[in-house]
């Protein structure tokens, strides 16, 4: 779905393509503190061809300590949910039945940010539930998180703190 000439800045060995859809159908109401909402379409290959859509919501706020926070919530969508937001290009096919990810960024000081990440996934897939496969699943998740942190680190050195915090 992505133009073959597009330059991909961030590589993941299992991700074939990922695209953002911002032109959402009308009818949803933003939640308190929500500053952005969009859909990500993902095509994945890992011992099989998979595809799914995720709803991403971004929240901005202040915690009980008065620190500025950003929370990014990702949720894998069922086909009916995805179709309520966008005209879909493919049906959900995933080894996971459900998945959610929550990133919380907390500004500790002008030069320090804390990152918290919580990932939850559910599957009934027989091979993913086998004892021999579980280490591979966790290794893949861990590698993705490490790649994310490396990317954030690389981008933060490229940009000034003032630009990154705006």
pTM: 0.80
Full strand arrangement of the beta sheet holding 49-62: 15-21, 34-45, 49-62, 68-76, 98-109, 112-122
The pLDDT score that the predictor gives to residue 25 is 96
pLDDT at 79 over 60: yes
- 93 DSSP β-pair partners: 51
Indicate the SS3 state at residue 149.
helix
Percent of the chain, pLDDT > 90?
46
Question: In this prediction, what percent of the chain has a pLDDT beyond 70?
Answer: 77
Start-to-end CA distance of the chain, whole Å, equals: 31
What is residue 147's predicted lDDT score, i.e. its pLDDT?
Answer: 73
Range in 38-47, 68-77, 149-158 the model is least confident about: 149-158
Which residues have CB under 8 Å from 118's CB, separation 6+? 101, 102
């Amino acid at each position: 779905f992505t133009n073959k000439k597009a330059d991909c800045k961030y590589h993941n060995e299992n991700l074939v393509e990922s695209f953002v859809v911002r032109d959402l159908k009308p009818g949803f109401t933003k939640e308190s503190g929500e500053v952005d909402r969009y859909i990500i379409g993902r095509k994945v290959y890992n011992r099989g061809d998979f595809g799914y859509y995720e709803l991403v919501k971004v929240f901005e706020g202040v915690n009980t300590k008065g620190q500025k926070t950003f929370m990014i919530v990702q949720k894998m969508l069922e086909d009916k949910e995805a179709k309520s937001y966008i005209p879909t290009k493919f049906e959900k096919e995933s080894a996971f039945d459900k998945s959610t990810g929550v990133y919380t960024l907390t500004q500790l000081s002008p030069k320090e940010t804390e990152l918290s990440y919580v990932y939850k996934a559910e599957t009934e897939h027989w091979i993913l539930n086998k004892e021999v496969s579980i280490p591979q699943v966790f290794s893949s998740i861990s590698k993705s998180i490490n790649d994310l942190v490396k990317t954030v680190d690389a981008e933060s050195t490229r940009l000034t703190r003032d630009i990154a915090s705006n």
